[in-house]
Amino acid sequence: MQAEEDTLENEEYEAELEIKNAEGLHMRPAMQFVDIANRFDSEINVSNGETNVDGKSIMNISMLAATCGTKLRIKAKGPDARQAIDALRELVEEKHFDEPTPKK
Amino acid sequence: MEIKKGIAVSPGISIARSLIIDSEDYRIPRRQIKPSQRMIEIQRARNAFKDAIGELTRFESATDKPEGGKIKDIFAVHLRFLHDRSLRKKITDMIHSDLVTAEYAVSTVLREIASHFTKVKDAYISERAADIYDIERRLLTQLLGRKRENVEHLKNEVVIVARELSPTRTAGFDRKFVKGIASDAGGRTSHAAIVARSLGIPAVVALEDLTECTSVGDLVIVDGNRAIVIVNPDEQTIRQYEEYSKEFTELEHRLDAIRQKPAVTRDGVEITLLGNIEFPNEAEVVLEKGGAGIGLYRTEFLYLNTQTEPTEQDHYEAYAETVRVFADKPVVIRTLDLGADKYTQRKRFAPEPNPFLGLRSIRFCLQNLMLFKRQLRAILRVSVLGDVKIMFPLITNRHELMQAKMILHDVMEDLDEESIPYNRDMQVGIMVETPSAALTAHSLARDVDFFSIGTNDLTQYTLAVDRGNELVSMLYSTVDPAVLRLIRTVIQDAHKAQIDLSVCGEMASEPEYIMLLMGMGVRTISITSPMIPEIKQIIRSVTMEYCNNVARKVLGMDSERQISAYLRDAARKILPEAF
């Protein structure tokens, strides 16, 4: 029992998500991102290849200045890591923050 | 003694003690603290966050109207920042390790973040810096509280020294005590400069580092005629300036003497001189200076002063105050021209990459019908109090004009149903301020009672120059042959259609240009009120024949430089004191 809980605590998932909305990760999308990240107990880290920041901080997320087409590597660690990654993937790649994607 | 050269934006001379204010930009001295004070400063920072959150939450819940959505979003983002643990930790860590005050830590950390954003190439992202400055300001207000200088309740005459002044801040100045304005930033056409001119307060801007070489209480001379500011002048300079000041006042008095005289040329052609106003309290200045009505009543001020959306009654009261002052004299109310200014862009979520070509002015109103109709109702309701006319800005095609008129009609029907009185025959006009409107003036003229040429926007759109951008502002000239050609077309089309025509841009307030406009056929002009006496004096000293000659010559010239030089020369002959 004890052992299983330990593995749960240490569950780690990661995914690469691409910013698809035309205007990039500006203020409102950054807000949506941290709002979702903060719903989970897991630690969430976001990296753009250069910097690695706390996914629950709007300051850090918005400072990534991720424009359309940027790929972010998201790592979640904790009891609900998988759900956190799924929820963030849905926001970024499927709903693209309820914003329009660039015109082809 | 220190002499600084800037840009003169409002004429006159003032000598008074300085009052340094920083509306946009508190100057936070780096104040070292002792290790034992760490916890006190950290607690002050925490309290500032807590109080700022409280204040924002109240604003957020007060913004409950549908069109407040974007503003609400902004409050929500700011709240996320204030709750951000990483941000708070960064600030408290700095207090702890660098031994500085809470103000200093807040300001330094947030400015670092803001400068990070300004460096990003993407326009949407770099505009975020404005949000960060806003958060910084909010926290500093909490920390500094009452330590801020209070400009609203002055008891002594002062010269206001600031880094940058917002138009609303400037409009709040008490003319009795604020004798001069000097700022580090700004330009001739910045909004604060226009407000200073209309209030008749001498002002010099673009002084770069004036705030750094002035201390509160220093004696400061603002020379709005020569574009100079002198800090701590010596005895001799003070005496010299007292002399200048006397001469200038005498000139003003001489001009005031012609206040009640008509604006008629020597050969008997009458010109109607109206005033441009922005705030209701300027209406009386127009009368004082001898204006025959209001040719342009800007209504944006209602939106710049408050956190909440103005109600129909707010609109009504502001307009009624002005219309009552003018009784039977005309008052032209321009519908909202919001959009491309800093104010609305800051409130917007994703700032437009090209706001002057974006959703501004009448376009903004046609997409925000509730807001537009609220203003139209108020204008219609005041139309029974005097000679009120309505004017739509930035019309670019016939379709927009028809749409705006149709909405006006809808509002009239609503008022009919509610049996609220209004003037059914209220005149409807448009600003002609885009090349497309000028080029189709013959067709637009069929559906309006008057045109008013807005030379500022017309020039900027015709020459493709942002006059606020110092790198290209030298290309901006209202007497460029291209602009003059458009203006001539509009005047001719208005005459053919037999509708009224006026010019309300800054061009009409420039002594050099007035003869040209008259010679081109303009008989009504609307200008900033302090300029009324001077322009009237020019009108009274010329003949229409001479003006016609000036226009004929100018319209035959093909270079802006040649035109400017010629006009300056012609005006200098008429009113040597002003040049």
Please give the residue range of the domain that contains residue A63: 2-98
Please give the residue range of the domain that contains residue B47: 35-145
How far apart, in whole angstroms, are the C-alpha atoms of residue B377 and residue B361? 18
String of DSSP letters for B215-230: -TT-EEEEETTTTEEE
> What CATH number did the domain enclosing A78 receive?
3.30.1340.10
Q: Which residue of B has its CA nearest to A27?
A: B77
Task: Output the pLDDT for position B188.
Answer: 63
Of these ranges, B32-36, B179-183, B185-189, B246-250, the one predicted with the greatest mean pLDDT is B179-183
Chain B residues touching residue A61 (CB < 8 angstroms) = none
Q: How many domains does chain B have?
A: 3
3-class SS of residue B292: coil
3-class SS of residue B203: strand
How far apart, in whole angstroms, are the C-alpha atoms of residue B468 and residue B463? 14
Chain B residues touching residue A28 (CB < 8 angstroms) = 73, 77, 349-350
H/E run at residue B425: none
> What is the mean predicted confidence (pLDDT) over B198-227?
84
> What is the mean predicted confidence (pLDDT) over B443-449?
97
Lowest mean pLDDT among A86-90, B262-266, B342-346: B342-346
> What CATH number did the domain enclosing B291 receive?
3.20.20.60
Q: Shortest CA distance to B358 belongs to which of B344, B377, B376?
A: B344
Q: What is the mean pLDDT of chain B?
A: 86
3-class SS of residue B568: helix
How far apart, in whole angstroms, are the C-alpha atoms of residue B535 and residue B507? 12
Give the tens place of pLDDT for each residue, A52-82.
Answer: 999 999 999 988 888 888 899 999 999 999 9
Task: Output the pLDDT for position B155.
Answer: 79
Lowest mean pLDDT among B91-100, B130-139, B319-328, B538-547: B130-139
Closest-CA distance, A55 to chain B, in angstroms, reads 10
Q: Shortest CA distance to B171 belongs to which of B7, B291, B301, B269?
A: B301
Asked if A96 is an active-site residue, the reply is: no
- Read off the tokens for A89: 């993937």
Task: Output the pLDDT for position B23.
Answer: 46
Interface A:B, Cβ pairs < 8 A: 57
Q: Shortest CA distance to B124 belongs to which of B352, B356, B359?
A: B352
Task: Output the pLDDT for position A78.
Answer: 92
Would the pLDDT of B187 be above 80? no
B20 and B135 fall within a common domain: no
Given an 8 Å threshold on Cβ–Cβ distance, is B120 in contact with A54?
no
Closest-CA distance, A29 to chain B, in angstroms, reads 10
Residue from A26, A77, A89, A96 carrying the catalytic annotation: A26
Would the pLDDT of B270 be above 90? yes
Chain B residues touching residue A58 (CB < 8 angstroms) = 77, 80-81, 84
Q: How many domains does chain A have?
A: 1
Which residues, 6+ apart, have CB-to-CB distance to B141 below 8 Å? B52, B148
**Last residue of a domain, which of B89, B114, B145?**
B145
Closest-CA distance, B339 to chain A, in angstroms, reads 20
Of these ranges, B34-43, B115-124, B415-424, B460-469, the one predicted with the greatest mean pLDDT is B415-424
Given an 8 Å threshold on Cβ–Cβ distance, is B125 in contact with A65?
yes
**Last residue of a domain, which of B85, B114, B145?**
B145
How far apart, in whole angstroms, are the C-alpha atoms of residue B440 and residue B179? 46
> What is the mean predicted confidence (pLDDT) over B285-309?
83
- Is the CB of residue B87 less than 8 Å away from at least one CB of chain A? yes
Q: Shortest CA distance to B94 belongs to which of B86, B107, B105?
A: B105
B237 band by pLDDT with thresholds 50, 70 and 90? very high
Whether residue A88 is contained in a domain is answered as yes
Task: Output the pLDDT for position B509.
Answer: 84
- Read off the tokens for B121: 């190439």
Beta strand residue intervals within B356-412, DSSP E:
387-392
User: Predicted ipTM?
Assistant: 0.87
Under a CB-based contact definition with an 8 Å cutoff, are residues B391 and B333 in contact? Answer: yes
Instruction: Give the CA distances from residue B276 to residues B100, B509, B532, in Å, rounded to whole numbers and listed in that order.
Output: 49, 10, 10
How far apart, in whole angstroms, are the C-alpha atoms of residue A33 and residue A20? 14
Q: Who among A26, A31, A59 is closest to B86 (CB)?
A: A59
Q: Who among A28, A31, A60 is closest to B86 (CB)?
A: A60
Q: Who among A23, A57, A67 is closest to B86 (CB)?
A: A57
Whether residue A103 is contained in a domain is answered as no
Given an 8 Å threshold on Cβ–Cβ distance, is B349 in contact with A62?
no
> What CATH number did the domain enclosing B195 receive?
3.50.30.10
Q: Who among B77, B117, B122 is closest to A24 (CB)?
A: B122
Task: Output the pLDDT for position B376.
Answer: 98
Closest-CA distance, B390 to chain A, in angstroms, reads 38
Under a CB-based contact definition with an 8 Å cutoff, are residues A42 and A79 in contact? Answer: yes
Given an 8 Å threshold on Cβ–Cβ distance, is B125 in contact with A56?
no
Closest-CA distance, A34 to chain B, in angstroms, reads 9
How far apart, in whole angstroms, are the C-alpha atoms of residue A60 and residue A34? 10
H/E run at residue B29: none
Whether residue B437 is contained in a domain is answered as no
String of DSSP letters for chain A: -HHHHHHHHT-EEEEEEE--STT-S-HHHHHHHHHHHTTSSSEEEEE-SS-EEETT-HHHHHHT---TT-EEEEEEESTTHHHHHHHHHIIIIISGGG-PPPP-
More confident site: B345 or B130: B130
> What is the mean predicted confidence (pLDDT) over B214-242?
89
Q: Catalytic positions of B, please?
A: 191, 504
- Is the CB of residue B117 less than 8 Å away from at least one CB of chain A? yes
Give the tens place of pLDDT for each residue, B98-118.
Answer: 998 898 899 889 888 888 887
- Read off the tokens for A66: 């991720």
**Residues 502..561 of B with a Cβ closer than 8 Å to A: which?**
none
Task: Output the pLDDT for position B194.
Answer: 72
Lowest mean pLDDT among A3-17, A35-49, B341-355: B341-355
**Last residue of a domain, which of B129, B145, B161?**
B145
> What CATH number did the domain enclosing B71 receive?
1.10.274.10
More confident site: B180 or A28: B180
B107 and B54 fall within a common domain: yes
Cα pseudo-dihedral B204, B210, B214, B215, rounded to 10: 100
A5 band by pLDDT with thresholds 50, 70 and 90? very low
Q: Which residue of B has its CA nearest to A67?
A: B122
Whether residue A104 is contained in a domain is answered as no
Interface of A with B (CB under 8 A): 23-24, 26-28, 30-31, 34-35, 54, 56-60, 62-63, 65, 67
Task: Output the pLDDT for position B151.
Answer: 65
Lowest mean pLDDT among B414-418, B480-484, B533-537: B533-537
How far apart, in whole angstroms, are the C-alpha atoms of residue B280 and residue B273? 19
- Read off the tokens for B260: 């009640």
B70 and B42 fall within a common domain: yes
Give the tens place of pLDDT for each residue, B70-101.
Answer: 667 778 888 999 999 999 999 999 999 999 88
